[in-house]
Structure 1
Amino acid sequence: MCLPILSDSAEAIPPWCFQQFNMHYINGIGSIGPQEFSGGKYRLSPTAPEFFQARPIDYKTWINPLVLRKFSRIVKMGTVAALMCLKDGGIEKPGAIITGTALGCLENTEGLLKQIFENGEKFLNPTLFISSTHNAIAAHIAIHTACRGYNCTYSQRAISFESALLDGMLQITEKKENNILIGGIDEIIPALLPVLKNLGLQKKKSSSTRGSNWGEGAVFINLSAQKNEHTYAQLAGLRIVSRNCRPDDIVRGMLKSAGLDQNKMLLLTGVNKDRENDKFCHKLAEDFPGSAHARYKHLCGEYFTAASFALSLAASMLKNGIQAESLLRPGPDPDSIMIYNQSRNIHSFILIRKAT
C-alpha cells in the first residue's frame, strides 16, 4: 500500500491512495477548548484575546477527585475530552488510542526542569518525569478506559494530529482496529508565551504582520468503519505535503477522487493573521470562487494541533448545519468540507463529506 505521510510535491502520491479511504466515519466528538461544546454542537463566541485559553469545566463530574488531584491540566483536558467522545459515540471502551501533541505535557516538563535546577540534579520526584512525557495523556486514557489495544502518540510539530489521524485511517483500512480514539492536544503555560514572542510566532500588540494569537485545546474523535446513529460525517481524504506544492491542484485531485463537486464544498482555512501563513489561505480561496469559505483559528487560536478543532467543527457543521456568521463567503449548502492548514510551508488537507 502506497501511503507516505509526507511528500515534496503534489505528484508524489498517486491519486488512488485516497480511494482506499472510503469507510471511515466520525461517530463521536469530545472537545475542551476556548469554545463550548455540548450536545454534539459548538456554541461559538468569537473573541480576540492575546491568547486563547481552554474554558474551565468541572472535571470532577468525569473523574474521581482522588485520582484527579494527581493529573496535570493537560492530562485532565485530554482524558476528559476522550471520555466525552466515548459518551457522545455511545462506546464504553475504545479499540485503540492514537494522540497527536507537538509540545506534550509542558507544565510537568517545566516543573521537572525547575526541580533539576533547584536540587542540583539530585532527589528528583519521579512522578514529574513520568508525567512529562508526550505519551502520558494517551497512557492515562488507556488506564481509565481499560483499553489494552494499540496505543501510539505522534509528535510531529504542526502535523502531529494529522499524523495520528492517518495512522487511525490505516488501522481501519487494514482491519486491525475499530472504534479508535484519535485526539489532538496542546496546552499553553506562562513560560511559553515569551518564547513564542521571541520566535516571532506570538503576535505582538505593535505588529500587524508577524505572528498570531496562540491557543490551546484537547479534541478527540471516534473513528469507525461503520456508520451509526451517532455519525457526524465521513472522512473522505487526507494529504500532507511539504515545501513546493500547488494547494489548488491537491484540493481538486482530492475532490475528484472522492467524486465531489467543488462548487458544493466549504473551504475551511487556518487564517491566523500572520502574513506569511495567510497568503496561502487567501490564494487558495481565490482559486475556488464558487465555493463557500470559512476560517477557524479566530475561534481557537493558533496551536500545533489546531487541525483537531477544525475537524470537529467541520464534522459538527455537516451534521447540525452551518452557522451563517462563521462564513466569510457564503455559497450553496455544502456536501463536503475541505480543511486546509499550513505551517512553515508544510500543508495538510483533510476532506470530509456528509455520511452516506
Structure 2
Amino acid sequence: MKKTYINGVGCISTQKTFDTVFLEEAVYNQKDTVFTLVKPEYKEYVSPAASRRMAKGVKNGIVASALAMKDSNTEKVDAIITGTGMGCIEDSDRFLKNILDNNEEFLTPTSFIQSTHNTVGAQIALLMQCKGYNFTYVNGVVSFESALLDAKLQIEEEEASSILVGGIDENTDYTMSLYKLAGFVKNDQETPFDVLKETSTGVVYGEGASFFVLENERKESTYAQILDVEIINSLEENEVETEILAFLKTNNLQISDIDAVVLGFNGDAHFDSYYKNLARNTFAQTPQLYYKHLSGEFNTASAFGLWIASKVIQTQEIPNIIKVNSVEKPAYNTILLYNQYKGKNHSFTLLSK
C-alpha cells in the first residue's frame, strides 16, 4: 500500500500566508467579528477579464492551487478533489437577488451557473487542462476532511499518484447578516475577543482557500506524511479522549508519541469545552496549538489548520501567536489535528515527518 505525502502547499487566508515563510506577518485581530481576506495579486494568475466574472472563492482557489503546484514542482495531477461548505455563496446571493429584483423575469444564467459548489474544482481543471477525476465534497465542517480521505484512499490503492486537494469557503455581507441574526456570530459589543478565554456563544467568521499536492513519493519539497484521517459524526465530551486513544492505537501510537496537537478552538463557550478538557487532561504535557483566532471560523477552516501543522513539521518551529501552552518538544515529528463544530462532525488527522 502506497504512502501519502504532502509535497506542496498553498494558502490564501485572512492572514499574509503567501510570499512569507510562516506567519511572521500574522496579526491577531480582536476587534472584528468577520475577518477580511488578505488578497494576492490575482492578475498574476488569472486574466483581468476572466477575474471580473469570478467569485472571490473561485479566484482564491485558483491562486492557492497554483501556489501548491509551484511549491511541489508538479505540472500535472491525476485528480482534483475539493471540499467546501457554502460553495460560491456570493454568486448564489447575487442570483437570488436578481430573481427578486426582476420579478423572476429576464434573468441571465451566469450567476446561477457559477454558484454551484463544484465551480472551483472545475475552473482549476480548465486552467490546468486536467481531465481526470474531479470531485467536490459538501459535508459541512468535514468537507475538507472528506476530500482528504478520498485522496488518501486513491493514493493507497494506486488509483492515482498525484492529487490536488483543497478546502475553500467565502463569506458575503448578506450571509453574515443572516448568521448574526441566528446568533452564529459574536456580538460586536463584546470586543476585544480572546478565543481562549471567551464566555459567550457565537464565533468570529473568516474565509479562505488552502490547497495541498498529495503524492505517493517523497520529494525534496515534502512537508509531511498523512498517516490517517477519521471522521465521526457525533461524540459526547467524555467520549473524545477514548476515541483519540483508539485512533492513535490503530496507528501504533500513544499520547506520549504526539509532539504537538492542533485544536480547533473558535471562542464558542458552549463547545470549546471539548478542546479544553483535552488541553487540561489528555494533552497537558503536549505542545498545544490553535489557529481560528487567525483564520476565523468557516466550514473548511480545518484546511488552514492542516497548513499550520504542515509548516510546523517543515520548519520545526512553532510561532508564539499559535501557542496555547508553553510546553515545548525538541522536535515536532508527529502532529494530531482535532476539530469539531457545535459538538458535531468530529475529525482527527494524523501527520508524521
Instruction: Please report the TM-score for the alignment, with normalisation by the length of structure 1.
Output: 0.90
Shift of 1:231: 0.5
Secondary structure of 1:98's partner?
strand
Q: Distance in 2 between matches of 1:228 and 1:153?
A: 27
Q: Which runs of 5+ in 1 are unaligned?
A: 1-19
Q: Distance in 2 between matches of 1:243 and 1:68?
A: 40
Where do residues 124-139 of structure 1 align in structure 2 (5 Å cutoff)? 124-139=107-122
> Which of 308, 311, 315 is the matching residue for 2:310?
315
Q: Distance in 2 between matches of 1:336 and 1:289?
A: 16
142-151 or 192-201, larger mean C-alpha shift = 192-201
Partner residue in 1 for 2:324: 328
Secondary structure of 1:191's partner?
helix
Shift of 1:40: 7.2
Where do residues 175-324 of structure 1 align in structure 2 (5 Å cutoff)? 175-206=158-189, 208-245=199-236, 246-263=239-256, 264-285=258-279, 286-324=281-319
Partner residue in 2 for 1:24: 4
239-248 or 34-43, larger mean C-alpha shift = 34-43
Q: What is the aligned-residue identity percentage?
A: 36
For residues 130-189 of structure 1, the C-alpha deviation after alignment (integer angstroms, 9 at most, x for no partner) is: 101000111100000000000000111111111111111111122111211111000111
Instruction: Please report the TM-score for the alignment, with normalisation by the length of structure 2.
Output: 0.90
Shift of 1:75: 0.9
Q: Distance in 2 between matches of 1:281 and 1:242?
A: 16
Shift of 1:52: 1.6
Shift of 1:254: 2.7
Q: Distance in 1 between matches of 2:235 and 2:55?
A: 40
> Which of 23, 26, 46 is the matching residue for 2:28?
46
Shift of 1:73: 1.3
2:96 paired with 1:110: no
For residues 219-270 of structure 1, the C-alpha deviation after alignment (integer angstroms, 9 at most, x for no partner) is: 1001111110111011011111122352212222233333345234211101
Q: Distance in 2 between matches of 1:153 and 1:351?
A: 22
Q: Which runs of 5+ in 2 are unaligned?
A: 191-198
Partner residue in 1 for 2:83: 100
Q: Distance in 2 between matches of 1:261 and 1:243?
A: 23
- Code of the aligned partner of 2:22: Y
For residues 68-116 of structure 1, the C-alpha deviation after alignment (integer angstroms, 9 at most, x for no partner) is: 2221211111111111111111011221111111101111111111111
The answer to whether the 8 Å contact 1:40/1:316 transfers is no
Q: Structure 1 119/137 Cα, relative in aligned 2: closer, same or farther at 3 Å?
A: same
Q: Distance in 2 between matches of 1:318 and 1:251?
A: 21
Q: Distance in 2 between matches of 1:294 and 1:308?
A: 15
Paired positions, count: 334
- Code of the aligned partner of 1:121: E
Q: Distance in 1 between matches of 2:39 and 2:292?
A: 20
Shift of 1:272: 1.0
Q: Distance in 2 between matches of 1:181 and 1:28?
A: 9
Partner residue in 1 for 2:154: 171
The answer to whether the 8 Å contact 1:36/1:42 transfers is no
Q: Distance in 1 between matches of 2:89 and 2:38?
A: 18
The answer to whether the 8 Å contact 1:260/1:336 transfers is no
Secondary structure of 2:6's partner?
strand
> Which of 26, 34, 43 is the matching residue for 2:14?
34
The answer to whether the 8 Å contact 1:35/1:42 transfers is no
- Code of the aligned partner of 2:316: G
Secondary structure of 1:168's partner?
helix
What RMSD over aligned residues (CA atoms) do the two structures have, in Å? 1.6
- Code of the aligned partner of 1:126: P
64-73 or 109-118, larger mean C-alpha shift = 64-73
Secondary structure of 1:277's partner?
coil
Partner residue in 1 for 2:347: 348
Secondary structure of 1:37's partner?
coil
Q: Distance in 2 between matches of 1:40 and 1:97?
A: 26
